[in-house]
Amino acid sequence: MGEMGKIGNIDRRKFVKTGAAASGLLLLRAKTAFGYEANSAVRLGLLGCGNRGTAVASSFAKNTSARVVALADLFPDQLATAKTHFDTLNGGLGQAAVEDRLTFHGPHAFEEIAHSKDVDMVQISTPPFFHVQHLETVVGAGKHAYCEKPVGVDVAQARRAMEIARRVEGKVSVDVGFQVRNAPPIAAVVERVKGGALGKIASISASYNAPAAKEKLAPGASADEMRLRNWLWYRALSGDILVEQNIHIIDLCNWILGAHPLKAVATGGRSIVTHAGDCWDNYQVDYTYPGDVRVSFSSTQFGDYGSFDAGLRVFGAKGSADAPYAGPVRILGESAWAWQETSSAGAAAPAGGFAANGEFKDNLALADREKDRSFIESITSGRFHNQIADGVTTAQSCMLGRMAGYKGREVTWEDLLAHGETYELGMDMKQFG
């Protein structure tokens, strides 16, 4: 695994300059390694036009030089909705509507958008089961890729993704959607913790409690189509809540500790939800990291009664540090510190609720913007990112906890990798042609 203290080869010192870098794109050298003018818009193709995909692509369009020029989705209705949205958004930005010839649907849409000569980068926002397959196709076509987490739902996919990481190094830029690392308050407190503000770290207490995923209806749809539209409910498609949603918090733990967990024990189950699917609705995982650092993680995904909260607290010899999605970001103890900035910078805004599309307020208000600017700058400057390996390691860290829960016993990192865990889709995608 690469150095966990960095993301996409950009450390904290470079991170804080992201805004200036993004606004100064015209000052870059005339030609990039990708072969187009530095002051030309990066042409973005969105693969997967659901809530999160639409939100991220909209952020790219609003906050960077990228322009949404192509759309792809398995389902024509989602594609049509996205086209209406982006035609309006592009119009407000003084840009052209998405051409009909650059809208693709069906089981081969991912290949068509990847090989389009009118696209420079592809944003992969499809169900997690397909992430690695789609990533391999996109970078194989010579396109830059912004891939949502997780990078793989099982051990076999993770291994395949690591091979992709080796093949693409220095050829294209690849980011993984861990935008929480780019939230200014979170980045600031993590920098201090990694710099020794807490002294020796003993443990981390972390959680992610969210409402249940709402059902997406499609009258007359087949059972397979309903599975795909409600992919969050199924292990094979999503990886379960620990791998799909809770992964953001585990990623922060890995980043802070500069390592992945060595072993895990876990409990949990499907205690409350009664809808279709097989994902658990709660987890309690105890991880052991190098140096005998313990991470206690708990998660729930049921109900919708205003109980959303996510974040972590780090405990060390000289103090503790809080890094929540909403609430004070601070250090207590010998090196006491608190994030102080106006609500316009995304820190002191009133507490907000859960955002199904990932557009959180509060401490994460600027996370997407900063992440998007960093990625586009990597393309226009030719200083390509390769975040695949770190993305895989975080996904595997979540798989470790998931396996410990399913097996009801301690599972080591070596056990996980040796297991060769593989999930099957269980349907023929050709039926959607």
Q: Of 116-130, 138-152, 336-350, 354-368, which range is least confident?
A: 336-350
Residue with tokens 């992440």: 371
Max Cα–Cα distance, the chain, nearest Å: 62
What is the tens place of the pLDDT at every residue in 295-328?
999 999 999 887 789 999 999 999 999 999 999 9
The pLDDT of 281-297, averaged and rounded, is 98
Domain annotation for the chain: domains and CATH numbers = 12-180+377-388 (3.40.50.720), 183-364+392-419 (3.30.360.10)
Give yes or no for residue 37 having a pLDDT over 60. no
**What are 253's two structure tokens?**
């733990």
Residue showing tokens 């209705």: 77
Amino acid sitting at position 345: A
Assign 215 a pLDDT band (cuts: 50, 70, 90). Answer: very high
With 0-12 CB in 10 A as exposed, 13-18 as middle and 19+ as buried, what is 88?
exposed
Residue predicted with more confidence, 371 or 349: 371
Confidence grade of residue 356 (pLDDT, cut at 50, 70, 90)? low
Token pair listed for 293? 């650092």
Percentage of the chain with pLDDT > 90?
83
Long-range contacts, 75-78 (Cβ 8 Å, 24+): 75/105, 75/218, 75/225, 75/229, 75/432, 76/105, 77/218, 78/49, 78/50
Nearest 5°: CA angle at 8, between 36 and 365?
Answer: 95
Kindly tell me if the per-residue pLDDT of 342 is higher than 80: no
Q: What is the mean pLDDT of residues 26-31?
A: 34
| Mean pLDDT in residue range 212-236 | 96
Residue 19 has pLDDT above 80, yes or no: no
Does the pLDDT value for residue 97 go beyond 90?
Answer: yes
Do 120 and 51 form a contact (C-beta atoms < 8 A)?
A: no
Q: What does the block give as tokens for 95?
A: 């840009």
Q: Confirm if 226 and 237 have CB atoms less than 8 A apart.
A: no
List the single range of 34-48, 230-244, 367-381 with lowest mean pLDDT: 34-48
User: Contact, 93 vs 85, CB < 8 A?
Assistant: no
Confidence of residue 36 (pLDDT cuts 50, 70, 90): very low
**Cα–Cα distance for residue pair 101/174, rounded to 1 Å:** 26
> Which two structure tokens, joined as six digits, stand for 115?
């090989």
